[in-house]
Structure 1
């Protein structure tokens, strides 16, 4: 049976496992910053999953299933992910940076078939590995081994993950501080960095120390405007969600227990989606 978000968050290994996952995703950001920028905000992250799902659901023998600008926009709008203009701009950016490509040299505007490039799929597979590894750490399962033993599984698994993420209230309607950061470029990485430095022994505290001290160094590493990041941190501070143990810039930052709980709620909701999709993709394979 797939794990539920409630089961995951209650597990003693949940935090350490999620922290390891966060470090793995931070590594992806460090090694492929251009591609990682695709997932820079939650909206872009969902747009990327929509595109990947359309790519994997293509039937080479049925042109009606091709990924086109028109089909992408239709799915995005149907699921209230973004406006038409935002969706179109996203696709154009993906094409510009070779994250996606046209299948043929010529085509008819929004009906021109596209596909995700191999390099993009290879990097995204690392995202899958990280989440399956986390689930295995929590319950001692063998999802990652199963996935690695089935080369064709990604094409079944990712679309089910996308469906689950789009339908997940826990993912799409997070708490107020988490929501504050998901609209910041690389906001997910900001939160991963904050939470990955927490000592699990401190999570019972109202103010949980992190390993972050310097906002300037933090912003430089993330290639963010220091002013923009500082403004978001100030907003978080006004909510009582973050602060400094001592003098700002000369002591470690803390996150509130509520912010920590919001972060874990989203992470465990996402993991539950992945686990349910994993189970579903195995069932599809057994039926085929």
Structure 2
């Protein structure tokens, strides 16, 4: 049985689960920054998940199926996620960094692409981390099940991606969250913030994040310090983040920001959960 969205968002263990997930994704960045950056903004997340889903949906009986520029362009522009030129640039970037390669076989139009082993490992690790986060909530065994049967990813990922694409509230994050996620590497910053939550059980309007060095953070994530400071300033002007003293080193986030983030993440994690449960059922016949 999978979690409904509202039940996840209100679950007393959900914030701890999100902190674990953020820590895991941060570690993935440290071990492989280039591929982690492919999911580091919301637009890139949507592009990456859509591209991988199209690849897995390839039907040999239909030569035009699978991951092609045309298929990805049509899917992305249907939901108004990005322009045609952005889709083309995205595919070219994946090819340049060897996350994609031409599908084997005779050359055909439109050209079909397949993920490389690096891209597969990245997607597998991402789905595994999300399942492990869900397991923390109900002491489940989803992550172990995926490790035991990796082919379950082939069934679950397209279903999850399609569910998220169709969800207006997932495609358009709350403004407080979107302020970060629509920017380059903004997802990495949010993961960092969430991984630093002080989970002491106290209820209040401010949640401690601890010491934050904006300069070091910008350097670590290879983003402009000015860009990072601009985002944080805009967020502070909204009352979503702030600092405890004039030196601006001890940081907090608002309860409203956390609630908005939890509600948004619950949409994705519910889709991850439902798709995996469906994949397990389908694999059993």
Report TM bin, short chain: over 0.9
Alignment of 1:53-202 (within 5 A): 53-104=53-104, 107=107, 111-201=110-200
Match of 2:35 in 1: 35
User: 1:178, 1:262 within 8 Å by CA — same for their partners in 2?
Assistant: yes
Task: Structure 2: state its 5+ residue gaps.
Answer: none
**Count of aligned pairs:** 285
Structure 1 residue ranges (4+ consecutive) displaced by more than 3 angstroms after TM superposition: 104-108
1:4 corresponds in structure 2 to: 4
Q: Secondary structure at the match of 1:111?
A: coil
Separation of aligned partners in 1, 2:85 and 2:130: 31
Query: What SS does structure 2 have at the residue aligned with 1:65?
Result: coil
Q: CA deviation at 1:80?
A: 2.1
Q: CA deviation at 1:170?
A: 3.4
User: Which residue does the alignment assign to 1:276?
Assistant: 274
Distance 1:57 1:203 in 2: 46
What is the CA–CA distance in structure 2 between the aligned matches of 1:204 and 1:275, rounded to whole Å? 28
Q: What RMSD in Å do the two structures reach over aligned CA positions?
A: 1.7
Q: CA separation in 1, counterparts of 2:47 and 2:92?
A: 12
TM-score (norm 2): 0.94
Residues 197 and 211, structure 1, Cα contact 8 Å, conserved in 2: yes
Give the gaps of 5 or more residues in structure 1: none
Give the Å deviation of 1:105.
8.9
Distance 1:246 1:192 in 2: 23
Alpha-carbon distance in structure 2 between the residues aligned to 1:13 and 1:146: 22
Q: Which digits, 9 at most, give the CA deviation of each residue in 1:140-175, with x for residues without a partner? A: 221112222223111111101101110223322322
Q: Secondary structure at the match of 2:200?
A: helix
Is contact 2:57–2:158 with CA below 8 Å preserved after alignment?
Answer: yes
> How big is the shift at 1:226?
0.2
| Distance across 2 between alignment mates of 1:123 and 1:269 | 21
